Amino acid sequence: MGGSIIENCKVIVGIDVSSKDSTVCVLMDKVRQGKTFKISNDMVGFQQLYKRLRLYSVIPLIVFESTGVYSLSLQAFLEKKHIQYLKLNPLKAKKLMDNNLRHNKTDQVDAYRLALIQFNAPQKLLKPQSRAYHEMQNASRYYEELNKAMVVAKNQLHRNLQTTFPQIENLMCHPTGKIYWSVVALFPHAQAVLDSNKEHILGELETISGLSQKKAEYLTQRLISLARLTCAYDNKDSIVIRAIQRNIACLFSLDQEKKEALAYLYKLASKNQADTRILTIYQSIPGIAKTTALRLLAELGDLRRFDSPNQIDAFIGIDPGIYQSGELDSHLSITKHGNSIARKIMYLSIGQMESVKTTQPCHITDYYDRKKSSQSRGFKKIAIASVHKLIRTMYALVTKNQLYDYNVATRNQRL
């Protein structure tokens, strides 16, 4: 299932994809074949491209950049016709084209340079994954969008409360979650507390699901104390109150939608026994819970399609860049060429692993703590180095179909 380089493919087609149309350049043994031409990004244009490709004895290799949603239609057509393609990350493509001393920036030049890449610096081709992984990634990306929307709604709620009841954010240790939002919805303004008596406030709080009698009594006292400390700028009839109510309704809706997105993602993963096993393997690693495991599966796909952990490093963009000039050969910071969401999840996983290390030891957190105590490198560099170890661990466990074992891992530090 690993990648392979099409060394005997002498015809390469570079396609510069734009929003509505694409520019196509055909090279044979580095020589341009005819004029560069344009096709529309629809079935008419793709059929026109396919007709040109069939003029050659061997179907050429297609090279194009991953331009977000715009390149997906082309990719779908190529997969339907069983045409091999190389889809490059835009940053990596730019670097490869710049190495070839690209000076002009036009669609025609980019299409030519994209085709030239596979002659000058052949890239490995990964076997396309099943559409099931694509749909899982869709669910993961939707979940990410919901997370971002929740951050926006929380920030808006924070700003709005500053003019009506800023002290309410000290009501609980963490001013977030359903109980906190429910309390704020009941009392969005300090005056609403001051205008009520203790019995009325307690009665309102007792309507909140999941709130015990003892906790309701405690929060009642806290609300009264905090309301007395508040000097509100806007009055209780201000339209800001409507904005606060809208923020809270949005947060409840987004929270429910996140749960449904995760349930859908789990349903997709459960259809395949191999994916279910991978989830179990991921969750055996200390600090990786169900949500993280699901999103790692969705973003990384089946790790067995990679030849080595280094390919996974490159896939998520944590492989180190290299600078060469004369006799100077030095490593730069990570390339950030790959899957940024997968990179983010892996990075956050290290923090999750650190949070449970006292009860769930892991050789990766042991490494992280040793490096951190030595203070030889910055926090981010240590975290990225830990991500490298996590990737090697995940790859070894999945390819060997084994669950994580701390004793085994400490004996085999190559993990």
pLDDT in tens, 193-236: 999 999 999 999 999 999 999 999 999 999 999 999 999 999 99
Q: What is the pLDDT of residues 239-250, one digit of tens each?
A: 999 999 999 999
**DSSP code for 122:** P
**DSSP code for 4:** B
Strand-strand pairing, 31-32 and 21-28: antiparallel
Other Cβ atoms closer than 10 A to 325: 7
Which of 55, 111, 53, 107 has the alpha carbon at shortest distance from 84? 53
Q: How far apart are CA 152 and CA 140, in angstroms?
A: 19
- Give 110: exposed, middle or buried? Use CB within 10 Å, 0-12, 13-18, 19+: buried
Packing angle of the helix pair 379-400, 273-283 (nearest 10 deg): 140
Packing angle of the helix pair 240-270, 178-186 (nearest 10 deg): 160
Domains of the chain, each with CATH number or no CATH: 11-128 (3.30.420.40), 135-262 (1.10.287), 274-411 (no CATH)
Cα 288 to chain centroid distance, Å, stands at 16
Q: How far apart are CA 158 and CA 244, in angstroms?
A: 9
Q: How far apart are CA 299 and CA 251, in angstroms?
A: 25
Q: What is the pLDDT of residues 375-384, one digit of tens each?
A: 656 678 888 8
Q: How far apart are CA 273 and CA 154, in angstroms?
A: 38
Q: How far apart are CA 199 and CA 204, in angstroms?
A: 9
Please, how many CA atoms are within 13 Å of residue 277, restricted to the half-sphere of its CB? Answer: 13
pTM: 0.80
Encode the chain (415 residues) as per-residue pLDDT tens digits: 344 444 445 899 999 999 899 999 999 988 999 899 999 999 999 999 999 999 888 889 999 998 778 898 999 999 999 999 998 877 777 777 765 544 455 556 889 999 999 888 888 776 667 788 989 999 999 999 999 999 999 999 999 999 999 999 999 999 999 999 999 999 999 999 999 999 999 999 999 999 999 999 999 999 999 999 999 999 999 999 999 999 999 999 999 999 999 999 999 999 999 999 999 999 999 999 999 999 999 999 999 988 899 889 988 888 764 333 333 333 445 556 678 899 999 999 999 999 999 999 999 999 999 888 876 566 788 888 999 999 999 999 999 999 999 999 988 765 5
pLDDT at residue 107, as a whole number: 54
Read off φ and ψ for residue 313, nearest 5 degrees.
-55, -45
pLDDT at residue 103, as a whole number: 46
Name 190's Cβ contacts closer than 8 Å, sequence gap at least 6. 164, 165, 167, 168, 226, 227, 230, 232
Q: What is the pLDDT of residues 89-118, one digit of tens each?
A: 777 777 777 655 444 555 568 899 999 998
H helices within 57-130, ranges in order?
72-80, 90-99, 107-120
